[in-house]
Chain A
Amino acid sequence: MKWVGSNLDLVWELIVAHVGLSVPPIIIGFLLSIPLGWVANRFRISRGVILLVLGLLYTIPSLPLFIFMPLILGTNQLSSANVVVGLTIYAIALMVRSSADGLASVDDDILQAASAMGYSAWQRFWRVELPLSGPVLLAGLRVVSASTVSLATIGSVIGVTSLGYLFINGFQRNIPAEVITGIVATLLVAVVFDLLLVLLGRVLLPWNARDRTSSRQARRQAVLLAEGVS
């Protein structure tokens, strides 16, 4: 606690940097995963190709992926874009299965009813299919958020500032309290993100709160999916 007290400014600065690194991948990953998930559901061949490619991308370990980035993007080796793009790739890889499953979870009868009521395919997607897949999307997004916040610490190994700096610095100066602060702060950021997502879900998907079992089921499914068991 003593260490934290005398280094509050540093910790706060790193938390801000960490949030800056992890928020864009979560949002971009989510936005890109929806059209990809839709395409994956639409055709059998596109499903196979998309899931295979994303599965392989997810297999690439994070540190090498960050190291490959300057070659692919043409960025500086110390650029934070390397970490942001790398984390976005992971976010997409984790999220697309959830998006595809979420969109597929909407009952076919509801879709047919929407069409029968005169919704165009576009309206039906935005007003029926997407909102109803919300609980599954939310569950997937929570897993992506936790994973992104944790992985962002690795960026500090290649010189991109995040809360991981406290691990590196704490190791070099042999201060366990600094490392513990880094771990706790990372978990704290992850918990706050998770709470915000749950809150967002309450606001955007009010019907979800009434249906506890199905949102719990969705959470379970998303966690299993992320563990590679499904």
Chain B
Amino acid sequence: MNFVVEGFGWIFDPANIGGPQGWIARLLEQLSYTFGAVAIGAVIAIPLGYLVGHTGRGRDIAVSLSGGLRALPSLGVLILIGLGLGIGFKAPLITFVILAIPPILAGAYSGFEAVDRKTIDAARAVGMTEWQVITQVEVPLGLPLLIGGIRSGVLQVVATATLAGYISGGALGVFIFEGTSTRNYAETLGASILVTALALALEGIFALVQRLVVPRGVVAKEATDLRPRSSRPQPVMGIPIHEGK
């Protein structure tokens, strides 16, 4: 427990908080990486995901891409790009964009796919153009899943942004690496606590946002039964109503 006290001691030491070398500045760098990478990733992934979701084409490619990229070690990619572009913020940013794309892509196309086919047929039947179907039906109804993908992207990038410090790219990881190389465990621990708190705070904010973006009129489907219903037709009590009679 002694170490935990030292870790918090490091966090609350005024010498470590303010200024360009303080943790507030580093935390802001971490946030800039996160939202910068997710924003660039979203610009690339959302249109692509919508295209896949709307046309239903390329779904298998998208799935294998997500599955495959999971095995790609981000530290290796970061260092490789870092060796190519030199130290600074560019190499980490590119790495984090690569990291942010799969979850946002998955959120975008699965959001479109989750829309009930009958709803889309109904939209066409009332005379909506293809563009209107996309913008007024599929986009709003797919929004909760898209936000889910963005949330996941933000969490992955904010966690990995810690590694930027390894190639002198700033952010909170700077303290972790400084602490491990100078055997200052309090500093390493303090910075680790900050990174974790930041990730948990972002997770909390996104959980809230995800609830707020469910369009009005769409009642969030809460699972009432944990087990799927039986596939066998259930006996109906009383007199069955036959349509058309």
Given A157-B75, A158-B180: A59 in contact with B70 (beta carbons within 8 A): no
Is the CB of B232 closer than 8 A to any CB of chain A? yes
Given the interface pairs A60-B196, A227-B149, A229-B149, the reply to whether A67 lies near B162 with Cβ below 8 Å is no
CA of A134 to CA of B82 in the docked complex: distance in angstroms? 42
Chain A residue numbers with a CB within 8 Å of B167 are: 171
B149's contact among A67, A157, A194, A228, by CB below 8 Å, is which? A228
- Indicate whether A104 reaches chain B with its CB closer than 8 angstroms: yes
Please determine whether A167 and B152 come into contact, CB atoms closer than 8 angstroms. Answer: no
Partner of A228 from the list B3, B103, B160 (CB cut-off 8 Å) is B103
A41/B226 contact (C-beta < 8 A), A153-B73, A171-B79 known: yes
Chain A interface SS verdict (over half): helix
Nearest Cβ on chain B to A148's Cβ, whole angstroms:
9
Q: Does A211 contact B (CB under 8 A)?
A: no
Complex: A230 Cα to B106 Cα, angstroms = 10
B67 contacts A67, CB within 8 Å?
Answer: no
Q: Do A67 and B192 touch across chains, with their CB atoms under 8 A apart?
A: yes
Say yes or no: A154 contacts B231, CB within 8 Å: no
A229 and B191 CA atoms in complex are apart in Å by 30
Contact yes or no, A71 B63, CB < 8 A: no
Cα distance, A51 to B124, chains bound together (Å): 39
A64 touches which of B73, B79, B193, B231 (Cβ 8 Å): B193
In Å, the complex CA distance between A107 and B228 comes to 7
B93 on interface, CB distance cutoff 8 Å = no
- Note all chain B residues with C-beta closer than 8 A to A107: 228, 230-231
Size bracket of the A interface: 35 or more
- A215 interfacial by beta-carbon distance below 8 Å: no
| Chain B CB within 8 A of A114 CB | no
In the complex, are the beta carbons of A44 and B226 less than 8 A apart?
yes
Determine whether A108 belongs to the interface, using a CB cutoff of 8 Å to chain B.
Answer: yes
For the complex formed, measure the closest distance between the CB of A214 and the CB atoms of chain B, giving whole angstroms. 14
Count: A-B pairs, CB below 8 Å: 171
Q: Is B71 an interface residue (CB 8 A)?
A: yes
The residues in B between 163 and 216 inclusive whose CB is less than 8 angstroms from any CB of A are 163, 166-167, 173, 176-177, 180, 185, 188-189, 191-193, 195-196, 199-200, 203
| B152 CB, nearest partner CB in chain A, Å | 3
A168 CB, nearest partner CB in chain B, Å = 8
Alpha-carbon separation in the docked complex, A163 to B227 (Å): 42
- Contact of A227 with B106 in the complex, beta carbons under 8 Å: yes
What is the CA–CA distance of A61 and B75 in the complex, to the nearest angstrom? Answer: 13
A29 near B: Cβ within 8 Å?
A: no
Contact status B67-A223, CB under 8 Å: yes
Known: A60-B199, A63-B192. A229 touches B158 (CB 8 A): no
* Closest CB in chain B relative to A197 CB, distance in Å: 12
Smallest Cβ distance from A48 to chain B, in angstroms?
Answer: 11
Q: B71 — which chain A residues lie within 8 A by C-beta?
A: 146-147, 149-150, 186-187, 190-191, 194
- In the assembled complex, how far is the CB of residue A142 from the closest CB belonging to chain B, in whole angstroms? 7
Q: Are A147 and B106 in contact (CB under 8 A)?
A: no
A76 at the interface (CB under 8 A from B): no
Stretch among A118-126, A173-181, A200-208 lining the B interface: A173-181
Chain B stretch 221-245: residues in CB contact (< 8 A) with chain A = 226-232
Contact residues of A between 37 and 66, Cβ < 8 Å to B: 41, 44, 47, 55-56, 59-65
CB distance from A100 to the nearest CB of B (A): 8
Give chain A residues whose Cβ lies under 8 Å from the Cβ of B152. Answer: 227-229
Q: What A residues does B199 contact at CB under 8 A?
A: 59-61
Whether B73 contacts A171 by the Cβ 8 Å rule is no
B94 at the interface (CB under 8 A from A): no
**Chain B contacts for A187, CB-based, 8 A:** 71-72
Contacts of B72 in A (CB 8 A): 150, 183, 186-187
10 contacts between A and B (CB under 8 A): A60-B159, A61-B196, A108-B229, A146-B68, A158-B180, A176-B83, A183-B72, A183-B80, A224-B106, A228-B149
User: Contact residues of A with B, CB < 8 Å?
Assistant: 41, 44, 47, 55-56, 59-65, 67-68, 71, 77, 104-105, 107-109, 142-143, 146-147, 149-150, 153-154, 156-159, 163-164, 166-168, 170-171, 174, 176, 179-180, 182-183, 186-187, 190-191, 194, 216, 219-220, 223-224, 226-230
Starting from the known contacts A67-B176, A229-B152, 18 additional A-B residue pairs (CB-CB under 8 Å) come to A55-B203, A59-B200, A60-B200, A67-B189, A68-B192, A71-B3, A77-B185, A104-B228, A143-B70, A147-B70, A153-B76, A157-B180, A170-B83, A176-B83, A179-B80, A190-B71, A191-B71, A228-B151
